[in-house]
Structure 1
Amino acid sequence: MTTDTRRALVVRGGWAGHSPVETTDLFLPFLRDSGYAVEVADTLDVYTEAALLAATDLVVQCWTMGEISKEQVAGLTAAVRAGTGFAGWHGGIVDAFRGSVDYTLLTGGQFLMHPHGYSDHRITLVEDRAGHPVLAGLGDFDVHTEKYWMATDPSIDVLATVEFEAGEDRERPVTMPAVWTRTSGAGRVFVSAIGHKPDDFDVPEVRALTERGLLWASR
């Protein structure tokens, strides 16, 4: 274990179906063991606390749906642009605050739909990003969970993808970003579409890339 020298803020709430407490609890010991003093918030008002965010190296958000005020998103965006990292998974980061364009511009993507239920599908790592710190040493892997169809910003750095097969809804296969990073000013943002339910993180590759993504995004 290392000495706490950095600060992480875990912001969790919104729709209970994404288990915001249970899934973020999976990563609290990891963050502490990685040298973070961890604070947990269950209100978006924390994004208006400029001094707190300025002293925070990493914000981990798991907040599905809901609304974010102009003041809250402005505070979060300003903090990230100044160097605070921002990271999350699944609906907790990309099915949040659909009414806020500024929030979507920060994350680089927004959930639109998923096929009904869970499916077995493969997550394919982008070959020329294999050396990225989030992916290094990992290979393609299979999951049994929701498969997200999203609208994404062309400026994101896509690390892994998922395939949507041709069918009634589309005349040809579509390759969709599943894991990506981006920068905003001096800050880094990490997004993974995987993590609908706590046992998604039982897949070693899912757990590894999520943990690495949190560290990569951090100041």
Structure 2
Amino acid sequence: MASAKILVVDDDPAIRNLVFRYLGKHGYELENAPDGKTGMTKFKQFRPDLVILDVNLPDALGYNLCQEMQTLTDVFVLMLTSRTDTSDKIIGFEKGADDYLTKPFSVEELKYRVEALLKRQRTVTTPERQLITHGQLSIDPERREVMFQGEPVMLTALEFDLLHVLASNPTKVLRRSELISQVWDYEHQGDQRVVDVHIGQIRKKLEADGGHRFIKTVRGVGYKFAPPDTVLD
């Protein structure tokens, strides 16, 4: 994990330098950029494992940059914002952000969140490497690929992890807090509705008819994965 490549995109030189120095001391390979244009250039050249991305850049919205980056690679994106409004964070999650950190923040917490995100690349243990198949849906945990009706489904890293956890426990109701614990891998202090946002994105990509065929909402509790032969709409 310590050899992971991290790109920091923020127009505040103090934040760039602080993050660069602190994470650099812990063995990460880093690059930084002060704006969106430079950020995209370095992203394509550096090919980072994770991007720490400010929401408000001089020449671009971090939300849009996040979406553009994730069309190119399966990169993790941790967004930085001075905004505390939940709706702003939801926009970021809808664009593919994996996590959020509100300014001002401690570098210790930033490091912890970075480690939690990067750990997802290593969380698949041997018994969990088996292909999961439910009807025309197949989930390959080793390749981190999802196929539905013979076509690939493009999910973000966090969306894949959520779907994998649910599909690994068919018909079991999982609370939002349980999903956060298993997927985010740390004690999430924010609004648990972030789970709803990501589930909504999975549904859009997986279920074109909007029928929520695989992921069922259990009101007041959470979600469960319903294999095709158990769904009674």
Greater per-residue strand proportion: 1
TM-score (norm 2): 0.39
Greater per-residue helix proportion: 2
Which has the bigger relative contact order, CA under 8 A and spacing at least 6? 1
TM-score (norm 1): 0.41
